[in-house]
Structure 1
């Protein structure tokens, strides 16, 4: 009997437990995402207009650019560990590249236990294959981080509902909600609306506290700044709406389609719709997401698929139906959330419930994905080439301004004054438009004390105060340099 008991214990000890799927596939996706960003988006690519606004708040390369009402300071905080002590753009790009991949990995891990590892890896690969994801991942911009926060928040809410993760999942809900609100407070509200409805419906008070607490913590600075600088929260929201052209019912689906050709900002968004080959994936996305939801209903796991679909829909509402222009990065949270049910649907199409492959379906899906990658790569190559060229023009124009005597401390006004001011190392100012922060009298007064230049498009009429200043044509710009500055130049 003793020998039998010992043998039984040995058998139990030696019997391996079923292995939980490890993080290898999602880690591999994140690693490839790093390489793709570094290879296809040159780290040397100069900073863009919006990046300059965020980075200049903490850097010392140039005075802080005007910070308009819709913006939030989350990106500035995210960039601060590098931007606060160096203006070396390549280093900042590498930092954001690694950070973007780490964020994607953590966002996918937030769904562990809800979907198989292969589904999560496929979802990450689908999201990371979009040209807009690769292009904006290494940039100091907020939309990618709203997408990451949305994935973490939705996944961890579902994990708490499923009894997984414990307190760590609750803290992740609060932290991801705070991340979204730090980046774009209004977007955070739209994304979390379905989550708030869910936790109220099931009366999960701890989840409700985590969600509301995270949103409040993330938006606190933006709200406080509204009362300090804008006269109140309503006034800041009104000003933000005015700058965005007045929020209201406006079907912007066509605008978003036009932006998919690589137009970073489609405002006004005119012209013909893109070639159907370029936008085919965009129409396929909701179909596959719908299939994923149908499969979930059949398998009686509706909630874990319905939640990301619902959050994606509410995240897309303001940018598809309430705004009069488009930028492809606006829909990054929409794409990230739909990636989960889309990946689930694709795996169902190519594999039977028994685990064996469906050869015909697998071949067709592989061919479609290969075509998708080819289209995304072509658009990415085009947008990167244009962007590198445009930002190179800014750098060369800054060198020309230096040659004309416009050196720090200095002031740049007029057309594209914010990027040209940053590249020149000058303050920037405007008397009209969304970034108005000075007056004509103040500019003339400044021109008596330090170098001042006004920029206009080639052939356009400059502001009245600069019409008597010497004009210098360069790289598509007319540079009007105040005489006091030109007197100190070397040309």
Structure 2
């Protein structure tokens, strides 16, 4: 491994010169990351079904830029970065298939660019393997073509840490500075709070490590974070009563951020639950979660390899950023969603890949075939588990979204057509499918009052959705009720008059 070390990082850690020699442009250094990214894109298109409808959160984000339905209520924790990312397609087309293909291609390109940053910092086989490890997780494949921000935070984190290391290795590398700023902006554009957590070790090293104190690196990082978060901060003052009020609202919606060990919640969600809230199910079978326990062990081995090779910075920094990225979702929140840890997985992929390559390369010649066989069998088992979970997640998600589409069609049959308003159980995603506005009088998405809703129902087609167990709110109990599957659709006066007429 010593002969493949990156010279600039070794020199930087020894306190020596930081002028980096030119890295030879070898074809392989570009081809293998490109192959990984291309296979990742094709896997998304093959396994996540471009025709799969939009999920709950996706409907919120797409509705902000779509002409298909009015904009849904936008709660405090959300940021508009992902809405703007899909605007080139969603603003003029209602085709979910086209949107999925667009995001699959874009996510593959993003992965390639993020991996390319690490060229020269690690051998190409390590970089390509890291990309493959991250790109074959079921959660990565599922959320690559989804209108969700977490994958893009992960890409920004992976690229940003790599650009930071390149900028520290060569202070004349302006492309690295621009890349660091752009990566920080991408993260903050998508999820500002996550961007801060990921960036904490970078900021700390720029302030506390004497040989890393470079004003231009600090300025690039802060400028990127500020540029990405400025819209979210401005919206906080326009719509939420200030930055402090928006942060407080975001914390309340997420159950109150504070010391709360959610490690078991994340484990429970690994069986394929896209949202585990409340998270009361049993821990999945060992074969489904073994990889999760292997990650920290392999990452620790990667750090040992780096220390012995005297190139600690290249491994320690992504490990530190992965740790801070995972802290809020492992120890500060009362529920779990696998997508929250995508930045954690992306950053761990580099040291884990380095450890796996070392295990094979450092084994004795006589034992190498055995080691290679064991690693290959473990990888095959890992892939089988990941894609079995992915298939189940896609099937369940597709079924739920088809139910929403059928409910929307039934609403149209009952006279609830645009312009219209829906409220009640799962009203937000169903409203998007029906082309209606959604409104709630209570809960995290509260956007109107009971009196305003009753006034609206007299002049605009309105319906309240309820389950048989819960029943409708008091104001809708006198409205005509229609059973549709497990739902009860209570049609307001305006829509009911339309039906009778």
1:126 equivalenced with 2:133 (yes/no):
yes
Provide structure 2 residue ranges, at least 5 long, that are not aligned to the other structure. Answer: 1-23
The equivalent of 2:16 in structure 1 is: none
Over 3 Å counting, the alpha-carbon distance change for 1:487 and 1:170 in structure 2 is same
The equivalent of 2:356 in structure 1 is: 346
1:173 equivalenced with 2:156 (yes/no):
no
The answer (yes or no) to whether the contact 1:393–1:475 under 8 Å persists in 2 is no
The equivalent of 2:254 in structure 1 is: 244
Number of residue-to-residue matches in the alignment = 475
Per-residue deviation at 1:21?
Answer: 4.1
The answer (yes or no) to whether the contact 2:240–2:246 under 8 Å persists in 1 is yes
The answer (yes or no) to whether the contact 1:404–1:490 under 8 Å persists in 2 is no
The equivalent of 2:487 in structure 1 is: 477
1:183-212 Cα distance to aligned partner (Å, 9 max, x none):
000000000000111122221111000000
The equivalent of 2:400 in structure 1 is: 390
Per-residue deviation at 1:448?
Answer: 1.0
1:292 equivalenced with 2:302 (yes/no):
yes
The answer (yes or no) to whether the contact 1:160–1:169 under 8 Å persists in 2 is yes
Find the aligned partners of 2:444 and 2:307 in 1 and give their Cα distance: 47
1:331 equivalenced with 2:341 (yes/no):
yes
Match of 1:79 among 86, 102, 114: 86
The equivalent of 1:279 in structure 2 is: 289
The equivalent of 1:365 in structure 2 is: 375
The equivalent of 1:184 in structure 2 is: 191
SS in structure 1 opposite 2:60?
helix
1:69 equivalenced with 2:76 (yes/no):
yes
Match of 1:432 among 442, 459, 483: 442
SS in structure 2 opposite 1:455?
strand
Find the aligned partners of 1:304 and 1:457 in 2 and give their Cα distance: 54
Over 3 Å counting, the alpha-carbon distance change for 1:427 and 1:405 in structure 2 is same
Find the aligned partners of 1:369 and 1:252 in 2 and give their Cα distance: 27
Over 3 Å counting, the alpha-carbon distance change for 1:440 and 1:249 in structure 2 is same
Per-residue deviation at 1:230?
Answer: 1.2
> Which structure 2 residues correspond to residues 260-279 of structure 1 after superposition, within 5 A?
260-279=270-289
Over 3 Å counting, the alpha-carbon distance change for 1:178 and 1:357 in structure 2 is farther
Find the aligned partners of 1:147 and 1:305 in 2 and give their Cα distance: 17
The answer (yes or no) to whether the contact 1:146–1:180 under 8 Å persists in 2 is yes
The equivalent of 1:33 in structure 2 is: 40
Provide structure 1 residue ranges, at least 5 long, that are not aligned to the other structure. Answer: 1-16
SS in structure 2 opposite 1:402?
helix
The answer (yes or no) to whether the contact 1:402–1:489 under 8 Å persists in 2 is no
The equivalent of 1:6 in structure 2 is: none
Per-residue deviation at 1:483?
Answer: 3.5
Per-residue deviation at 1:352?
Answer: 3.0
SS in structure 2 opposite 1:454?
strand
Per-residue deviation at 1:474?
Answer: 1.3
SS in structure 2 opposite 1:487?
helix
Per-residue deviation at 1:164?
Answer: 7.7
Per-residue deviation at 1:355?
Answer: 9.5
Find the aligned partners of 1:331 and 1:33 in 2 and give their Cα distance: 19
Per-residue deviation at 1:359?
Answer: 1.1
SS in structure 1 opposite 2:69?
coil
Per-residue deviation at 1:50?
Answer: 0.6
Find the aligned partners of 2:126 and 2:369 in 1 and give their Cα distance: 19
The equivalent of 2:60 in structure 1 is: 53
Find the aligned partners of 1:115 and 1:67 in 2 and give their Cα distance: 42
> Which structure 2 residues correspond to residues 72-221 of structure 1 after superposition, within 5 A?
72-163=79-170, 166-200=173-207, 201=209, 202-221=212-231
1:374 equivalenced with 2:384 (yes/no):
yes
Q: Deviation above 2 Å: which 4+ runs of structure 1?
A: 17-22, 352-357, 486-491
Q: CA RMSD in A?
A: 1.6
The equivalent of 2:320 in structure 1 is: 310
Find the aligned partners of 2:268 and 2:127 in 1 and give their Cα distance: 30
SS in structure 2 opposite 1:300?
coil
The equivalent of 2:236 in structure 1 is: 226
SS in structure 2 opposite 1:413?
strand
Find the aligned partners of 1:437 and 1:142 in 2 and give their Cα distance: 24
Over 3 Å counting, the alpha-carbon distance change for 1:441 and 1:294 in structure 2 is same
Find the aligned partners of 2:447 and 2:133 in 1 and give their Cα distance: 42
Find the aligned partners of 1:18 and 1:311 in 2 and give their Cα distance: 29
SS in structure 1 opposite 2:482?
strand
Match of 1:450 among 441, 449, 460: 460
